[in-house]
């Protein structure tokens, strides 16, 4: 079964219910959101009434909770401990994010593993491991999904071996998994035309059963560019047919696929149109025009 959706907004006054409504308006059966602004760590209290209303509406619309994903803010960096205060803050924030997700009934939290910024990569990887081991508790019904990164700057998690090293050293193994991102894979040097070869290696080293979410994005940059700039589906260097092959790869059936493509002219959400193309497996050459004119 294809579970496809997008990143959606999360607003203080409507919370999960507002995010669900936005997702449904795009024809999604999966979605992802930040529990506040992605670039800061200010978070509002979860409103239980809104959560109950949202969970009821999800049931009515066959939106399965395992296809609802939270993305941790990208400024949280578990890799660097040069400033101990920041390293501890990152752990405290993530712990609170886990609590918030459990209140919402959400199991999967996508996390950028972190950036080493000036310290040894191995030390930085060990910081990530230590941080995760500190915050994960046996009774948590949560799974932290380490995102595969493009390798921009000093990002970690840019290849299978780094992801494997982190996962191998987590004590509560059922509480960690992976989120693949097609733009990041391309930019990190993985040719998605040979995606099955990548999956073979992933399966051998980590296990495909650890993949619980896939971000579907085209890329503005060429293979191996280490840039990380997302492009609308079919309009980037990966291309429509290659992305369709990833989305419909039978080895990844039932795993939620989430679009994080850019708004058109910074104003118009492309998701309804991109989801339609993906369901039809047919590229719409008038994509921008249709999005802007709401056709």
Task: List CB contacts of 185: < 8 A, sequence separation 6 or more.
Answer: 148, 192, 198
Smallest distance, Fe ion to C-beta of residue 62, A: 25
Binding residue count for Zn ion, defined by CB under 5 A: 1
Smallest distance, Zn ion to C-beta of residue 153, A: 12
Nearer to Zn ion, 228 or 274 (CB): 228
Considering only 7, 212, 215, 257, the residue that binds Fe ion (CB under 5 A) is: 215
Residue 124: how many other CB atoms lie within 10 Å: 24
Phi-psi region of 27 (alpha: psi -120 to 50; beta: other; left: phi over 0): left
212 binds Fe ion per the rule CB under 5 A: no
Residues 189-228 that bind Zn ion (CB under 5 A): 228
Smallest distance, Zn ion to C-beta of residue 99, A: 26
In degrees rounded to 5, what are phi and psi of residue 176? -130, 145
Residues 22-61 that bind Fe ion (CB under 5 A): none
Tokens of 127: 């910081």
Residues 30 and 256 sit within 8 Å (Cβ to Cβ): yes
187 binds Zn ion per the rule CB under 5 A: no
Smallest distance, Fe ion to C-beta of residue 41, A: 16
* 167, 169, 192, 241 from 160: Cα distances, Å: 10, 14, 15, 24
Measured from each CB, the residue nearest to Zn ion is 228
Task: List CB contacts of 265: < 8 A, sequence separation 6 or more.
Answer: 292
Nearer to Fe ion, 142 or 146 (CB): 146
Residues 225-254 that bind Zn ion (CB under 5 A): 228
> Could you say which of Zn ion, Fe ion, none residue 162 binds, taking C-beta under 5 to 8 angstroms by partner kind?
none
3-class DSSP state of 287: helix
Binding residues for Fe ion (CB under 5 A): 147, 181, 215
Interaction site with Zn ion (CB under 5 A): 228
């Amino acid at each position: 079964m294809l579970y496809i959706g997008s990143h959606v907004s999360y607003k203080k006054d409507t919370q999960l219910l507002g995010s669900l409504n936005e997702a449904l308006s795009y024809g999604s059966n999966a979605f992802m959101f930040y529990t506040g602004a992605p670039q800061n760590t200010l978070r509002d209290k979860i409103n239980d009434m809104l959560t109950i209303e949202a969970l009821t509406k999800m049931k009515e619309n066959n939106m399965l909770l395992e296809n609802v994903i939270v993305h941790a803010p990208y400024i949280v960096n578990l890799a660097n401990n040069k400033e101990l205060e920041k390293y501890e803050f990152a752990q405290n924030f993530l712990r609170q994010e886990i609590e918030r997700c459990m209140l919402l009934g959400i199991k999967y939290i996508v996390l950028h593993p972190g950036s080493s910024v000036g310290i040894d990569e191995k030390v930085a990887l060990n910081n990530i491991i230590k941080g995760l081991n500190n915050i994960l508790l046996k009774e948590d019904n949560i799974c932290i999904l380490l995102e595969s990164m493009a390798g921009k700057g000093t990002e970690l998690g840019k290849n299978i071996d780094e992801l494997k090293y982190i996962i191998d050293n987590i004590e509560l193994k059922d509480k960690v998994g992976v989120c693949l991102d097609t733009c990041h894979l391309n930019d990190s040097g993985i040719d998605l035309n040979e995606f099955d070869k990548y999956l073979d290696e992933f399966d051998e080293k980590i296990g495909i059963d650890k993949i619980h979410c896939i971000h579907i994005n085209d890329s503005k940059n060429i293979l191996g560019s280490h840039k990380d700039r997302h492009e609308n589906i079919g309009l980037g260097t990966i291309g429509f047919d290659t992305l369709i092959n990833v989305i419909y790869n039978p080895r990844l059936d039932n795993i939620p696929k989430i679009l994080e493509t850019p708004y058109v002219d910074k104003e118009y959400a492309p998701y309804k149109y991109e989801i339609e193309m993906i369901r039809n497996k047919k590229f719409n050459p008038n994509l921008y025009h249709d999005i802007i004119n709401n056709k």
